[in-house]
Amino acid sequence: MIDQIYWNSFNCILQTGPQTFKKLIDGFSSMQEAWEASYQDLTACGVLPTIAQKIVEQRIKIDPEKEWVKLERAGIKMITIQHKQYPLLLNEIARPPAVLYWKGDWQALATITIAIVGTRKPTAYGREIASDLAGRLAQEKICIASGMALGIDGVVHKAALENNGKTVAVLGSGIDILYPRTHERLAREIIEKGGIIISEFPHGTAPLKYHFPIRNRIISGISVGCVVVEAGKQSGALITARFALEQNREVFAVPGSIYQKSSIGPNNLIKMGAKVVTGPEDILETLHLSAKIVSQKENTIEADNPEEAKIIAIISLEPTHIDDIVTQSGLSATVTNSTLTLMEMKGKVKNIGGMNYTLSR
């Protein structure tokens, strides 16, 4: 426990990245010894002179015990790369984080994990396919990893939870500073339902822009494969896919319309050799994870009355706007709205936002 305090203290110094930590691990018998080392001793073990100088300058401003108390008060736990329970897959990547902070159930990381990532501004199609993939993989006891950002990330975390699955959220900030703030409730639910939130950034670290590409290597690093649902040309999801390739992970992509900007990323990945995904069976068969999953056919949904029959004849698994339902069914707007509300309560249809409806799968 005493040495962990110094691991945390070093991690509070910005310049102490994975490579510097490795030199400290190799050069000293403990992190406490490294913390108390002189500039000359630090450089002698291979720490770059500029970084050694920063360590010497900044450590006098850090009280190791006080920093540790901050973690304890916030209920944040910490594990180092030397711990036997450190994720095996993550330890294989080029620059594994020396320290991981976490809240939730650590055993979630012992589960086979697949990353699902995508744009912060998905289409209705993107939301639907991301939710379906994550939900059905969760049913197969696959843990879903993503970055808890707006858009696809949030969709897949929620879908995993709704299907009684586990999910891992990797943050680009300290565990105590959840981002975006609108996902604070989601974060609590992940923890309460046996998932986990992790970060390599220490207590109090703000969600700075450059942190997110850094954390993406962890999303792919803890996973056996990475699925890109929708991603524009400059999307961070493509950074995750690139890390996955570098880490020798399988990369999957969901094809999309050639007229949709959010399809540029996955369509280009497919051109470059990514596996095409049209359902979870494509992922599980490629990774040799599946024995029991079979391709699901569209549910046969029975109508309870003539109004429901008219609506079922119009909508499908593709989004249909309520105005189109009113026009094609001949029902009044009031009757259409009330019937759709009742059908949603019965689990026959889904309102996917913007007054667009699909049949439930």
By three-state DSSP, how is residue 25 classified? helix
Q: How far apart are CA 76 and CA 69, in angstroms?
A: 10
What pLDDT sits at residue 294?
38
Boundary residue ending a domain (49, 65, 81):
65
Task: Compute CA distances 267 → 122, 156, 189, 229, whole Å.
Answer: 15, 20, 33, 10
Does 53 share its domain with 167? no
Residue 75 lies in a domain: no
Question: What is the separation of C-alpha 354 from the centre of its chain, rounded to a whole number of angstroms?
Answer: 25
**Helix residue spans in 12-48 (DSSP H):** 18-27, 31-35, 39-44
What pLDDT sits at residue 186?
97
Residue 79 lies in a domain: no
Does 117 share its domain with 207? yes
Does 352 share its domain with 324? yes
What pLDDT sits at residue 2?
79
Does 239 share its domain with 343? no
CATH number at residue 332: 1.10.10.10
For 123, residues 6+ apart whose C-beta sits below 8 A from its C-beta are 230, 256, 260, 262
Does 192 share its domain with 317? no
**Count of domains observed in the chain:** 3
Domain hosting residue 319, numbered range? 306-359
Q: How far apart are CA 20 and CA 10, in angstroms?
A: 10
Does 13 share its domain with 43? yes
CATH number at residue 278: 3.40.50.450
Residue 70 lies in a domain: no
Boundary residue ending a domain (229, 252, 286):
286
Residue 190 lies in a domain: yes
Q: What is this structure's pTM?
A: 0.80
Residue 172 lies in a domain: yes
Residue 98 lies in a domain: no
Boundary residue ending a domain (286, 319, 334):
286
Mean pLDDT, each 10-residue run in order, the chain (361 residues)? 90 89 95 96 96 95 95 96 93 94 94 94 93 95 96 97 97 94 95 97 94 95 96 91 94 93 94 93 86 44 90 84 92 91 86 82 66
Assigned token pair, 66:
């006080």
What pLDDT sits at residue 298?
41
What pLDDT sits at residue 356?
86
Residue 16 lies in a domain: yes
Does 169 share its domain with 278? yes
β partners of residue 170: 198
For 65, residues 6+ apart whose C-beta sits below 8 A from its C-beta are 5
> Phi/psi zone of residue 232: left (φ > 0), alpha (ψ -120 to 50 degrees), beta?
beta
Assigned token pair, 250:
């399988």
Instruction: Tell me whether residue 9 is exposed, middle or buried, using C-beta atoms within 10 angstroms of its C-beta: 0 to 12, 13 to 18, 19 or more.
Output: buried
